[in-house]
Structures are given as structure tokens and as C-alpha cells.
Amino acid sequence: MFGEWNRAMSAFVSPNVLNFLVENFNIAPISTPDQDLKQILG
């Protein structure tokens, strides 16, 4: 899941910055509305 997102984000942020954002702010790529809500709401 994060592999393609990582490649797309590499134009904007370094891998270290991306890892920091994921670990500290729990950011993730978006998917479908249903999957996103399921992940957000648990």
C-alpha cells in the first residue's frame, strides 16, 4: 500500500521525512471512502 504512495511522495518529501510524518502523525494514503472511514472509525 505504501510502496506506490512512497514513490509518488518522493517528488515532494524525502523518505526520512515521510517516515517521520507516518510515525508521528499517522498519515496514510487515501483509498476508497468506505475503507477510509473504516480505518478512521476502527
Overall number of domains in the chain: 1
Q: How far apart are CA 15 and CA 23, in angstroms?
A: 12
Q: Which domain holds residue 19?
A: 2-41
Has residue 3 got a pLDDT over 90? no
What integer is the mean pLDDT of 6-26? 79
Q: How many angstroms separate the Cα of 23 from the Cα of each of 6, 14, 33?
A: 14, 14, 23
pLDDT of residue 8: 66
What is the pTM assigned to this prediction? 0.52
> Sign of dihedral through CA atoms 10, 13, 15, 20?
negative
